């Protein structure tokens, strides 16, 4: 059987992040199917799935890391959260908005909120768990990712990480350093 590839995920380099929150705007817009001016003029209360956080001097957006052994999926009482084709997905039809996933997420990356188009009533508020879906709906015909936050970042701080090639690069770089150190000491 072919080994399953690890999930891609979004990572932001805090050394490059300016805290401008453009990724938040882009994320909210990307999940709403309209442009910024229209959304604001119509007073749509869009919800980004990432949040820019500041801790001491450091600032960066936090979003779902598409965990391989996702606590949210394990905790979900209705089985609405599951792994599929490299994504941690939420089946909103099964979600009851109980917030267990939000409580167990180590990154606070799950937001329980209603969709702008879902009108609640006295029986339900229609809140569902939502999180970064790597802009699944924007994946193009050629199967390429097109993450709104990555594209919106003015300092290129945000990247979509392919864990395998990231690790390979790391290994190569450290390997090169080790080789250089070794050559120096033997020379």
Rule CB under 8 A: which residues touch another protein? 20-22, 24-26, 28, 36-37, 39-41, 43-48, 151-152, 154
In the complex, least distance from residue 36 CB atom to another protein, rounded to whole angstroms:
5
In the complex, least distance from residue 120 CB atom to another protein, rounded to whole angstroms:
16
Nearer to another protein, 34 or 104 (CB): 34
Provide CB contacts within 8 A for 107, sequence distance 6+. Answer: 62, 63, 64, 65
DSSP H or E run through 161: strand 158-161
In the complex, least distance from residue 108 CB atom to another protein, rounded to whole angstroms:
14
In the complex, least distance from residue 153 CB atom to another protein, rounded to whole angstroms:
8
Nearer to another protein, 75 or 159 (CB): 159
Nearer to another protein, 83 or 113 (CB): 113
Nearest Cα residue to 10 out of 99, 104, 169, 131: 131
Nearer to another protein, 26 or 67 (CB): 26
Give whole-number Cα distances, 57 to 8, 14, 19, 115, in Å.
28, 10, 11, 34
- Report whether 51 contacts 61 (CB < 8 A): yes
Matching residue, tokens 């598409």: 66
Residue 183 has which token pair? 């050559």
In the complex, least distance from residue 138 CB atom to another protein, rounded to whole angstroms:
12
Nearer to another protein, 76 or 149 (CB): 149
């Amino acid at each position: 059987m072919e080994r399953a590839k690890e999930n891609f995920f979004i990572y932001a380099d805090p050394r490059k992040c300016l805290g401008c929150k453009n990724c938040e705007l882009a994320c909210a817009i990307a999940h709403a199917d309209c442009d910024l001016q229209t959304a604001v003029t119509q007073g749509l209360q869009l919800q980004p799935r990432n949040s820019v956080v500041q801790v001491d001097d450091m600032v960066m957006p936090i979003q779902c890391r598409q965990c391989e052994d996702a606590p949210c999926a394990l905790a979900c009482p209705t089985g609405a959260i599951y792994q599929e084709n490299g994504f941690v997905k939420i089946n909103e039809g099964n979600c009851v908005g109980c917030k267990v996933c939000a409580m167990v997420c180590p990154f606070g990356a799950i937001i329980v909120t209603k969709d702008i188009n879902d009108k609640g009533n006295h029986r339900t508020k229609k809140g569902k768990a939502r999180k970064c879906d790597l802009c699944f709906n924007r994946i193009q015909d050629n199967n390429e990712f097109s993450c709104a936050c990555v594209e919106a970042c003015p300092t290129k701080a945000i990247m979509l990480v392919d864990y395998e090639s990231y690790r390979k690069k790391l290994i190569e770089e450290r390997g090169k350093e080790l080789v250089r150190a070794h050559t120096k000491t033997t020379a």
